[in-house]
A and B are shown apart, each in its own frame.
Chain A
Amino acid sequence: MRRSSRKSGSAAIPVTSSSGVSDLFRCATSKAVSKEMERIDQLFHAYMDKSLGMVGPEGIESFCLAVGIDHTDVRILMLAWKMQAEKQGYFTLDEWRRGLSALHADTILKIRKRLQELEKEVMRPTNFLDFYVYAFCYSLAEKQKNIDIESACELLTVVLGFRFPLQVSKFIEYLKSQNDYKVINLDQWTSFLRFCNEINFPSLDNYDAELAWPLILDNFVEWMRENL
């Protein structure tokens, strides 16, 4: 994931003894950069929870309202991915800066625009896997390694629903109807994306249970074949 190369406005800008024009230019851009960072910081302080020192769930809700998206929208998740936010529901200053400066979005208006581009960026195959895995890890609670079925189903709808609607809806149906599995682990999560990409749906004709697919997917395919 591309990170913003300039962390904060106060970082030293390398000065070289070159022509005066480039110096001017550098001064000009550094000024622009620090201006941007200022505005980003201002935004942060606008939504920050004073007692926590970071943007909390309510802050995020109001932020979403301002931007004009639902707080359960996948785009806020994408934003979190861009920020590499660690804890679900909270953004620290560093994360906030990281995400928004990478987007070059320092006003609400710009954020609104950039979010569309962000969507496209995430959709690229190289990024999508990363985003998909991030979504899983982001949803984990403290010290947890697995997500319970309910949350997994919701997350799947959000993250994959628009791309593989048929597979996701069927898989969710299966997960809700079975009793063998109470949680989903990362291996199963990643394998499902691979499943969606590689296996013909709903024919399932190129699925081979003898291969290294996780057992949950073997059982899912069996269930599909029985209930067709």
Chain B
Amino acid sequence: MEEKTLKDMKEEEIRKMEKKTLKDMKEKEEKEEEMRKLELMLSNIEIKGLSNETLDGIKCMTLYTDIYIVATDSNQVFNAKMYSKYKEFHNDYLNDIVLPHLRLHHGEFLLKEFETSWAHYSKVIHNRLHLYFRYLGRYYVAREKLLNLNDVGNRCFIDLLYEEMRSRVMDAVICLINKERDGAKIDRELVKKVVNVFEELKLYEDIFEERIVAGTKDYYSKKASLWISENSCPEFMLKVEECLEKEENMVRDCMKPATEQKIVSEVEHKLLVLHSTQLFDKEYSGLKKLLEDGKVVDLARMYRLYSRVHDGLQHVCLAFKNHVTAQGMALVRQTEIEVNKHVVKNDVGALQNQQVHLIMEFIKLHEVYLSYVNDYFQSNSMFFKVLKEAFEVFCNKSIAGVSPAELLSIFCDQTLKKKSCDNDKSTEDTIDDVVKLLVYISDKDMFAEFHRKKLARRLLFNKSDSDEHERYLLTKLKQKCGRHFTSKMEGMVTDLTLCQDTTASFTDYLRDNPDMNPGFDLTVTVLTIGFWPSYKTCTFNLPPEMLRCVEAFKQFYQTRTKRTRITWLFSLGTCTIVGKFEPKTMDLIVTTLQASVLLLFNSANRLSYSDIKDQLDLPEEDVTRLLHSLSCAKYKILKKEPDTKTISKTDYFEFNSMFTDRLKRIKVPFPLVDDRKKVIETVVSDRRHAIEAAIVRIMKFRKVLGHHQLMSECAEVLSSTFRPDFKIIKLQIESLISRDYLERDSKDHSVYRYLA
């Protein structure tokens, strides 16, 4: 049997292979048959029928099952085909049904159709398809990482309808919105629905928002050019305010919140920014005119509108500044003219009145425009700043050679001398106003010096209405300008309060030492040298009565302190003299010097000019002034020979026994010498010292500094007191160089070095 040969084995094998091949072929055939069947099935799935709402359950089931079968086929080749078929169904629907429908309609109807089409498509068609193909989605799509079935629906819609949406649909929307803008009532719900569609498509920003904003731009560009030419500034602004309100309202109602900002800024840009120059410069109703006419409601509106726009308020601010400056300068010029008239007529009283009047006008102006900033410009800091700048311009203009610092001090003087009455403002309010104005004046040290002089006069001659008011002013000044500003003045006021103590002690002293008593009522005011302005001291021959007074006080003062030395200022004293005239005895209130002249006539009835001068030992100009006040002025206490209007050295004087007046007690005025020039000189020399001190201080700290920096730092340090002249600073620097405090750097000539 071994002769089962290889031949046999081979044959067996061949036969096996043949069998297998046949089997394979058969299988393949079967497969192909199956595939053909499936394909047929697939192509038979009718989607057209889906467009009807009602679909009977059986048909659904059939569809689902069919698809299931295809999907689960072991041969996965059909899945891709099914996926593309799925897409195809969508596209067909859109192309065949939706697009034609849309193309049929326009305007509002288009929108309605658009909205309903989408609703139907997404909710009905798409959902159904999704449902049937769900098995595919779960496994095949996920595995192959394809676009999932849900998104395919949206994708198809977008791809096919993009252009349509972008152009025709959006045109319709814009048209509708513009209708509302023009005043008609529209169907806002429809707009909202359209918005929803876009949101669901995730195309809200790309299509809807973009086109809406563009539409807004166009609409308002046209309107702006129209309105600006037809309307006045206030009318235009009113329109703008209304528009903004309406737009905000509409967007909030219909669209997404993020769109509000974009639409509003377009409106603002087109209405407010583009034509702003035209608006402001309108001849009869523009910004300038509004300010001039005080149209505050419109100004407030303008502020509200332009504060929305970036940098929108610059122009308004500038116009405000120019207006205030113009107002102030007009006041200045007017006053200058008036003052010059009085100067020509030499009417000093009227001159002063005019000057004081100017300060009051400034105060009023300030009040008005401060209220503007607070009430209408919402206390914007930019406006405060320009108000300050405007005031600084005209508050520093001199009137007929009198600096504003001096004017302010005159005003202050009058205010503090006035008896307080209940008309308009309280003194304290006026003081507040004065301090407010002082802030704008650059020569504050000038004011301080004048004020100090006048304060001294008020205190010494008891002209001040109320001590409290003086102190109030000083407190306010200290707050605004610093302690050093008011230290001397406070010292002066304190001196006077201390005087009361001194006077009490003096009275005690006299009581204890009756032999020292000069026999007259004597009040001495002790002034601390540093605080008070410097006065010229004159030595002259005191009448014996006064000598006794002086001696008494000197003795008294020695008992208090051995170390201080007293210097007497007779030019500041007052004296009450009893004049025994024939008609009646009168009390004469005169200055100490005048009294000395009169007392000479106790021992002689008639004296010559030179007699008087020799006996008193005073300089000529003083003697002349004294005699003039007693013989040529209002009250002729002395008779003059010859009876001319001026004093000459050859005149003779006699006691006028027949002198009388209605009153029993009169004040014989003694005109003050004009020490304005002296005050100004003092301030100028003080400034030199201040500049020098500042330079030294700065250089000590910095050691090495360039020219420009030194100049600017110096100016800054001193800015709270006065504005230094650059030439003077340079001069002081050079003076310091020549005195070896500073030196120039050998390599760079614009750098200074501090020499310790």
Alpha-carbon gap, A13 to B727, bound state (A)? 60
- Which one of B245-253, B439-447, B625-633, B729-737 is at the A interface? B729-737
Residue of B at shortest CB range from A180? B731
* Contact residues in B for A187 (Cβ distance below 8 Å): 734, 737-738, 744
Alpha-carbon gap, A145 to B707, bound state (A)? 24
Q: Is A146 an interface residue (CB 8 A)?
A: yes
Known: A211-B707, A212-B744, A215-B731. A146 touches B749 (CB 8 A): no
Q: Is B662 an interface residue (CB 8 A)?
A: no
Other-chain contact of B749, A186, A191, A210, A218 (Cβ < 8 Å): A191
Least CB distance, A45 to chain B, in whole angstroms: 41
- Please give me the 4 A-B residue pairs with the lowest Cβ-Cβ distance, nearest first: A212-B707, A212-B750, A185-B738, A215-B730
Q: Is A194 an interface residue (CB 8 A)?
A: yes
B749 engages A212 (CB within 8 Å): yes
What range describes how many residues of A lie at the interface? 10 to 19
* Contact residues in A for B730 (Cβ distance below 8 Å): 214-215, 218
Report the tally of A-B residue pairs with Cβ distances under 8 A.
Answer: 30
Least CB distance, B685 to chain A, in whole angstroms: 17
Least CB distance, A115 to chain B, in whole angstroms: 30
Least CB distance, B469 to chain A, in whole angstroms: 45
B738 engages A146 (CB within 8 Å): yes
Least CB distance, B714 to chain A, in whole angstroms: 13
Q: Is B708 an interface residue (CB 8 A)?
A: yes
A-B residue pairs in contact (CB < 8 Å), sample of 15 = A185-B737, A185-B738, A186-B738, A187-B737, A187-B738, A191-B749, A194-B749, A211-B750, A212-B707, A212-B751, A212-B752, A215-B727, A215-B730, A215-B731, A218-B730
Residue of B at shortest CB range from A187? B737
* Contact residues in B for A211 (Cβ distance below 8 Å): 707, 750
* Contact residues in B for A215 (Cβ distance below 8 Å): 727, 730-731, 734
* Contact residues in B for A191 (Cβ distance below 8 Å): 749
Least CB distance, B725 to chain A, in whole angstroms: 11
Given contacts A187-B744, A194-B749, 5 further A-B contacts (CB under 8 A): A187-B737, A188-B734, A212-B752, A215-B730, A218-B727
Residue of B at shortest CB range from A145? B738
User: Which A residues between 174 and 221 are near B, CB-CB below 8 angstroms?
Assistant: 185-188, 191, 194, 210-212, 214-215, 218
Alpha-carbon gap, A120 to B135, bound state (A)? 110
Least CB distance, B297 to chain A, in whole angstroms: 48
Alpha-carbon gap, A212 to B705, bound state (A)? 12
Residue of A at shortest CB range from B750? A212
* Contact residues in A for B749 (Cβ distance below 8 Å): 191, 194, 212
Number of interface residues of B (CB under 8 A): 13
* Contact residues in A for B738 (Cβ distance below 8 Å): 145-146, 185-187
* Contact residues in B for A212 (Cβ distance below 8 Å): 707, 744, 749-752
Alpha-carbon gap, A146 to B749, bound state (A)? 20
B707 engages A214 (CB within 8 Å): no
User: Which A residues between 92 and 150 are near B, CB-CB below 8 angstroms?
Assistant: 145-146
Least CB distance, B688 to chain A, in whole angstroms: 14
Over the window 714-741 of chain B, the binary record of Cβ atoms lying under 8 Å from chain A Cβ atoms (1 yes, 0 no) is 0000000000000100110010011000
Least CB distance, B330 to chain A, in whole angstroms: 34
Over the window 739-756 of chain B, the binary record of Cβ atoms lying under 8 Å from chain A Cβ atoms (1 yes, 0 no) is 000001000011110000
Least CB distance, A58 to chain B, in whole angstroms: 35
Alpha-carbon gap, A214 to B744, bound state (A)? 11
Least CB distance, B107 to chain A, in whole angstroms: 72
Over the window 30-51 of chain A, the binary record of Cβ atoms lying under 8 Å from chain B Cβ atoms (1 yes, 0 no) is 0000000000000000000000
* Contact residues in A for B751 (Cβ distance below 8 Å): 212
User: Which A residues between 137 and 178 are near B, CB-CB below 8 angstroms?
Assistant: 145-146
* Contact residues in A for B734 (Cβ distance below 8 Å): 185, 187-188, 214-215
Least CB distance, B488 to chain A, in whole angstroms: 32
Alpha-carbon gap, A125 to B752, bound state (A)? 24
Alpha-carbon gap, A91 to B730, bound state (A)? 40
User: Which B residues between 555 and 595 are near A, CB-CB below 8 angstroms?
Assistant: none
Alpha-carbon gap, A161 to B730, bound state (A)? 28
Alpha-carbon gap, A211 to B752, bound state (A)? 12
* Contact residues in A for B737 (Cβ distance below 8 Å): 185, 187
* Contact residues in B for A210 (Cβ distance below 8 Å): 708
Alpha-carbon gap, A186 to B743, bound state (A)? 11
Residue of A at shortest CB range from B740? A145
Interface hub of B734, B737, B751 (most chain A Cβ within 10 A): B734
Over the window 315-333 of chain B, the binary record of Cβ atoms lying under 8 Å from chain A Cβ atoms (1 yes, 0 no) is 0000000000000000000
* Contact residues in A for B752 (Cβ distance below 8 Å): 212
Alpha-carbon gap, A146 to B739, bound state (A)? 11
Least CB distance, B512 to chain A, in whole angstroms: 61
Least CB distance, A46 to chain B, in whole angstroms: 41
Interface hub of B708, B737, B749 (most chain A Cβ within 10 A): B749
* Contact residues in A for B744 (Cβ distance below 8 Å): 187, 212
Least CB distance, A77 to chain B, in whole angstroms: 23
Alpha-carbon gap, A185 to B734, bound state (A)? 10
* Contact residues in A for B750 (Cβ distance below 8 Å): 211-212
Alpha-carbon gap, A218 to B725, bound state (A)? 14
* Contact residues in B for A214 (Cβ distance below 8 Å): 730, 734
Alpha-carbon gap, A212 to B708, bound state (A)? 8
Residue of B at shortest CB range from A214? B734
* Contact residues in B for A185 (Cβ distance below 8 Å): 734, 737-738
Alpha-carbon gap, A190 to B738, bound state (A)? 13
Least CB distance, B749 to chain A, in whole angstroms: 6
User: Which B residues between 289 and 336 are near A, CB-CB below 8 angstroms?
Assistant: none
Alpha-carbon gap, A134 to B408, bound state (A)? 55
Least CB distance, A186 to chain B, in whole angstroms: 8
Least CB distance, B476 to chain A, in whole angstroms: 38
Alpha-carbon gap, A187 to B734, bound state (A)? 8
Alpha-carbon gap, A92 to B744, bound state (A)? 33
Least CB distance, B691 to chain A, in whole angstroms: 13
Least CB distance, B520 to chain A, in whole angstroms: 54
Residue of B at shortest CB range from A191? B749
Alpha-carbon gap, A104 to B752, bound state (A)? 41
Alpha-carbon gap, A110 to B727, bound state (A)? 53
Alpha-carbon gap, A194 to B749, bound state (A)? 9
Least CB distance, A3 to chain B, in whole angstroms: 21
* Contact residues in A for B707 (Cβ distance below 8 Å): 211-212
Residue of B at shortest CB range from A219? B727
* Contact residues in A for B708 (Cβ distance below 8 Å): 210
Residue of A at shortest CB range from B730? A215
